[in-house]
């Protein structure tokens, strides 16, 4: 996982999407305790070897059938025709190149009825990289910090398998309502960029960036406080949303 260095693939790299992505709340995936699909065939894609091993072991404990393991989008696409997975469990940030969302689109094109579940440290997919493409309709999105019990993961997998293209409502309960511009500026602040550097990067005026930063203070309820550096507090807020701080 590479929180600050990932590049979101363009729609042409793998596939294209529709609306802007947002995380889904656990209450919106379906019944609170759907009947589990024992023996469900799962393809797991995770670029971190330890996380890949851990997730696969958890799925096997839940009596699910891990039919394929991959560490990149290309590897997963090469595997899919031979494993015929019913659901793909995808890490959002797969490093340089295509993201888990890009891969989700490609898998859905190849197999329209496949269930898709993104598992990520990020509370909002837009935190991965500017302009990240949206996920396919019906994709589940689960923050790793919310997997406090393996049954949460099981319930999500069951839901996306049973209704792979359900038009799930989107939730922003986990974070303030932020525009794409605000997310991108927040990410740049966390990377240590100055206001001038952000303005140059975005192709806007310094005053426009300053106004966006002011709105970020308001969104995160950060009143002016001479004892604290507000930019550092915003950077910390980004890291918390990215799952890098607890």
Residue 146 within a domain: yes
Asked whether residue 17 falls in the same domain as residue 128, the answer is yes
Q: Where are the alpha helices (DSSP H) in the chain?
A: 49-61, 73-83, 100-110, 150-162, 180-190, 195-202, 206-219, 230-241
Q: Which of 129, 162, 195 is the last residue of a domain?
A: 162
Mean pLDDT value across residues 1-10: 39
pLDDT for position 180: 83
Domain CATH code at residue 34: 3.40.50.2300
Rg (CA), the chain: 19
Establish if 5 belongs to a structural domain.
Answer: no
Structural domain harbouring 39: 11-162
Asked whether residue 4 is assigned to any structural domain, the reply reads no
Phi-psi region of 129 (alpha: psi -120 to 50; beta: other; left: phi over 0): beta
Assess whether 138 and 17 both reside in one domain.
yes
DSSP notation for 49-88 = HHHHHHHHHHHHHTT-EEEEEESSHHHHHHHHHHH--SEE
Whether 222 maps to a domain, the answer reads yes
Verify that 136 and 35 share a domain, yes or no.
Answer: yes
Domain-located, residue 173: no
Same domain as 206, residue 154: no
Residue pLDDT, tens place only, 121-169: 888 787 777 677 889 999 999 888 888 889 899 999 999 999 998 876 6
Query: Is residue 137 located within the same domain as residue 192?
Result: no
Domain CATH for 208: 1.10.10
How many structural domains compose the chain? Answer: 2
pLDDT digits (tens, 9 = 90+) for 45-86: 999 999 999 999 999 999 999 999 999 999 999 999 999 899
- Half-sphere exposure at residue 160, Cβ-oriented, CA atoms within 13 angstroms: 31
If asked whether residues 67 and 25 sit together in one domain, one would say yes
- Judgement on whether residues 32 and 151 belong to the same structural domain of the protein: yes
Task: Indicate if 233 and 128 belong to the same structural domain.
Answer: no
Q: Which two three-digit tokens encode residue 205?
A: 């005026």
* pTM assigned to the model: 0.73
Q: Which of 214, 16, 6 is nearest to 121 (CA)?
A: 6
Task: Classify burial at 72, counting beta carbons within 10 Å of its beta carbon; exposed 0-12, middle 13-18, buried 19 or more.
Answer: middle
Asked if the structure places residue 140 within a domain, the reply is yes
* Judgement on whether residues 195 and 125 belong to the same structural domain of the protein: no
Structural contact between residues 235 and 4, judged by C-beta atoms closer than 8 angstroms:
no
């Amino acid at each position: 996982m590479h929180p600050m260095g990932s590049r979101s693939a363009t729609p042409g790299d793998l596939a294209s999407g529709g609306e802007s992505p947002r995380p889904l709340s656990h209450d919106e995936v379906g019944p609170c305790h759907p009947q589990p699909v024992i023996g469900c065939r799962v393809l797991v894609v995770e670029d971190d070897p330890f996380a890949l091993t851990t997730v696969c072991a958890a799925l096997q404990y839940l009596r699910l059938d891990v039919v394929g393991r991959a560490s990149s989008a290309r590897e997963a696409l090469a595997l899919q025709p031979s494993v015929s997975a019913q659901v793909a469990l995808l890490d959002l940030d797969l490093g340089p190149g295509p993201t888990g969302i890009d891969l989700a689109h490609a898998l859905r094109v190849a197999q329209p009825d496949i269930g898709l579940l993104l598992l990520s440290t990020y509370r909002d997919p837009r935190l991965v990289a500017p302009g990240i493409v949206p996920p396919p309709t019906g994709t589940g999105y689960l923050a790793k910090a919310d997997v406090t019990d393996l049954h949460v993961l099981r319930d999500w997998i069951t839901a996306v398998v049973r209704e792979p293209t359900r038009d799930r409502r989107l939730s922003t309960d986990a974070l303030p309502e932020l525009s794409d511009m605000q997310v991108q500026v927040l990410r740049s602040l966390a990377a240590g960029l100055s206001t001038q550097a952000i303005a140059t990067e975005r192709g806007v005026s310094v005053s426009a960036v300053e106004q966006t930063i002011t709105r970020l203070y308001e969104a995160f309820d950060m009143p002016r406080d001479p004892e604290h550096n507000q930019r550092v507090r915003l950077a910390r807020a980004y890291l918390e949303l990215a799952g890098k701080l607890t």
